Amino acid sequence: MSGVTPSVATESERHPVDAALAARLAAIVGDRRVLFRPGELLAYSSDGLPGYLKQPSIAVFPGTRDEVIAVVRELARAGAPFVPRGAGTGLSGGALADGVVLLGLNRLSRILSIDAENAIAVVEPGVVNVALSRAVSAHGLHYAPDPSSQAACTIGGNVAENAGGPHCLKYGVTLNHVVALTVALPNGEVVTLGNAAGENDGYDLVGAFVGSEGCFGVALDVTVRLARNPQAVRTLLADFHSIDAGARAVSAIIASGLLPAALEMMDAGTIRAVEASIYAAGYPTDAAAVLLVELDGPIAGLDADVATVVRHCRDAGARDVRVARDEAERTKLWQGRKKAFGAMGRISSHLVVQDAVVPRTKLPQMLARVHDIAERYRVTVCNVFHAGDGNLHPNIGYDANDPDESARVHAAMREIMQACVDAGGTITGEHGVGIDKLPYMGAIFSEESLSAMCALREVFDPDRRANPGKVVPMHSCREWQMAPAARTGQH
């Protein structure tokens, strides 16, 4: 995404660098791996979410597991808050460090072991998502969660955000693929969560840790489950003269009980942006919407399922449905989808992206609602999203230097989010809360529920030094600190 100008002042003046801490960190990782001058830190003042700039006080980049542990312990001794960061591709501002230490984990990029027989691998947190799939492809395996940023994002970041991706419709999200973890708690203690070699009893701490957005500690290694490559894959492109028709096709396919590997939708604005970019995929530019549907599995019976999908698309009013003839065409169709955000970034100077989820039967009415809201606020919404999961990514391109347009864009986004919540949905399906969705947490969770989340966080991080100020609004946490007896008396 391009041309972002600071919308929030950097705060390094308010948090003078602790030179002594920087020196102690340098003693662990080497001088070159500790940055603290404002100029050096600029590259680490944003993540994948445009519109925010927050400068860390220090950025430290350990290269080994032992260095990570030593750094975390040094930060604990200093009482210093810190923000773990993978590749910085997150879309919720979760890796922004506002005047605190940024702990970069991207140098821990070794795949520690691959056990093809049991379809598991142990990786360091900085391993790039797609690098893992490449490394295991010779065994006929892949790592199933495939966020659009998979060429850059790391497994550690995926774990923190419980990342999804198009193929999570069938294969499940990160949570369903993490077996065990070794974690450095914020106090520097190293613990193992889960059981890589058998069943787990006791509390599901792996489940608690995955998606904790860097608030529960730092993963040192992650044992992931690998998926077997399907015997056959069929990729279809269906195009529609209206968004409503496309949305009805999605609802019909899901209701039929078929479980496509992926079911993605793009609207006219997205199609045109993609086709005007170097990622042109051959989507029909006069279509109001296209559906990208992938079915995979054993060859036997697969084409019967393809026929069912084609029928549902035609019944909903598809103008054309074509099946990719070969791997090259398939790759091209997917490239357009995966690079859609990049393509849209070319058009507008600023882009806001949402990540709401609605029940799948509500998709047609919700897309109509999004359209109405956009018209009312005179903004242009593009939709590119995981339709099969009901996971919407409405995004609006705009010029942040235009205060009137900015105000309309943000008002429209708030209304879209509220509409999704009112439809029984949620505020984030895969990007995480970070700081961007914090204001919406109260719309879906009661104070009691938010307090319970704070309580869980404090088990892992009683000092609240790991990724402070993210995920749960702080006022909810203050509630929790009251004595239990006082709280139980309230209604």
Partner 1 sequence: MAPASLAELRESIRDAIARRCPLRVVSRGSWLDANRPVHADTRLEVGAYAGIVEYEPGDLTLTARAGTTLHEIARATSANGQWLALDPLGDPSRATLGATIATGSYGPLAHHFGTPRDMTLGVEFVSGTGDVVRGGGRVVKNVAGFDLTRLVTGAWGSLGVLTEATVRLRALPSVEATLLIDIGSATAELERARTALRGLPFVPLAVQLVDAAARQALGVAGGRDAFIVRLGGNEEAVRAQREQLRGIGEAHDVDTEIWRRARVAEPAGAAVVRLSRLPSRFAATWQDAERIAERWPGGQLHGDPGRGVVRVVLPVDGNVLDASLRAALEIPFDGTRIYERLPRALWPALAPTAMHGAIDRGVKAAFDPHYLLNPGIFGELQ
Task: Write out the binding residues for partner 1, residues 226-285 only, by CB under 8 A.
Answer: 231, 251, 254-259
Q: What is the three-class DSSP state of 231?
A: coil
Using the rule CB under 8 A, is 221 a contact of partner 1? no
Site for partner 1 in 283-302 (CB under 8 A): 297-302
Q: How far apart are CA 227 and CA 230, in angstroms?
A: 9
The alpha carbons of the chain give a radius of gyration, in whole angstroms, of: 23
Scanning 384-429, the segments in alpha helix (DSSP H) are 403-422
Site for partner 1 in 96-115 (CB under 8 A): 115
Q: How far is the CB of 320 from partner 1 (least distance, A)?
A: 25
Q: How far apart are CA 186 and CA 75, in angstroms?
A: 8
For residues 156 and 222, the answer to whether their CB atoms sit within 8 Å is yes
Among the candidate windows 59-67, 150-158, 309-317, 427-435, which touches partner 1 by CB under 8 A?
A: 427-435
CB nearer to partner 1: pick between 125 and 211 = 211
Q: How far apart are CA 1 and CA 342, in angstroms?
A: 6
Q: How far is the CB of 161 from partner 1 (least distance, A)?
A: 7
Q: How far is the CB of 164 from partner 1 (least distance, A)?
A: 6
For residues 216 and 97, the answer to whether their CB atoms sit within 8 Å is no
Dihedral sign for Cα 362, 423, 371, 262, please.
Answer: negative
Among the candidate windows 78-86, 117-125, 373-381, 411-419, which touches partner 1 by CB under 8 A?
A: 117-125
Q: How far is the CB of 360 from partner 1 (least distance, A)?
A: 5
> For partner 1, which residue of 343, 431, 436, 466 counts as binding (CB under 8 A)?
431
Q: What is the three-class DSSP state of 232?
A: strand
Site for partner 1 in 137-176 (CB under 8 A): 161-162, 164, 168, 172-173, 175-176
Q: How far is the CB of 269 from partner 1 (least distance, A)?
A: 23
Q: List the Cα angle 171/177/181 in 5-degree steps.
A: 170
Q: How far apart are CA 182 and CA 188, in angstroms?
A: 12
Scanning 6-118, the segments in alpha helix (DSSP H) are 19-29, 38-41, 65-78
CB nearer to partner 1: pick between 20 and 486 = 486
Using the rule CB under 8 A, is 338 a contact of partner 1? no
CB nearer to partner 1: pick between 213 and 239 = 213
Among the candidate windows 279-287, 312-320, 409-417, 480-488, which touches partner 1 by CB under 8 A?
A: 480-488
> For partner 1, which residue of 369, 429, 435, 436 counts as binding (CB under 8 A)?
429
Which residue, 214, 253, 187, 265, is CA-closest to 461? 187
Q: How far apart are CA 173 and CA 168, in angstroms?
A: 5
Q: What is the three-class DSSP state of 236?
A: strand
Site for partner 1 in 33-62 (CB under 8 A): none
> For partner 1, which residue of 149, 158, 445, 466 counts as binding (CB under 8 A)?
445
Site for partner 1 in 345-374 (CB under 8 A): 357-361
For residues 56 and 102, the answer to whether their CB atoms sit within 8 Å is yes
Which residue type occupies 287?
A
CB nearer to partner 1: pick between 96 and 471 = 471
Q: How far is the CB of 58 from partner 1 (least distance, A)?
A: 27
Q: In the numeric block, which tokens belong to residue 89?
A: 């591709």
> For partner 1, which residue of 80, 111, 191, 280 counts as binding (CB under 8 A)?
191
Site for partner 1 in 377-396 (CB under 8 A): 386, 389-391
Q: In the numeric block, which tokens belong to residue 85?
A: 């960061």
Number of residues that bind partner 1 (CB under 8 A): 89
CB nearer to partner 1: pick between 19 and 459 = 459
Scanning 286-325, the segments in alpha helix (DSSP H) are 302-315
Q: In the numeric block, which tokens belong to residue 358?
A: 């609605």
Using the rule CB under 8 A, is 198 a contact of partner 1? yes
> For partner 1, which residue of 31, 449, 463, 474 counts as binding (CB under 8 A)?
449
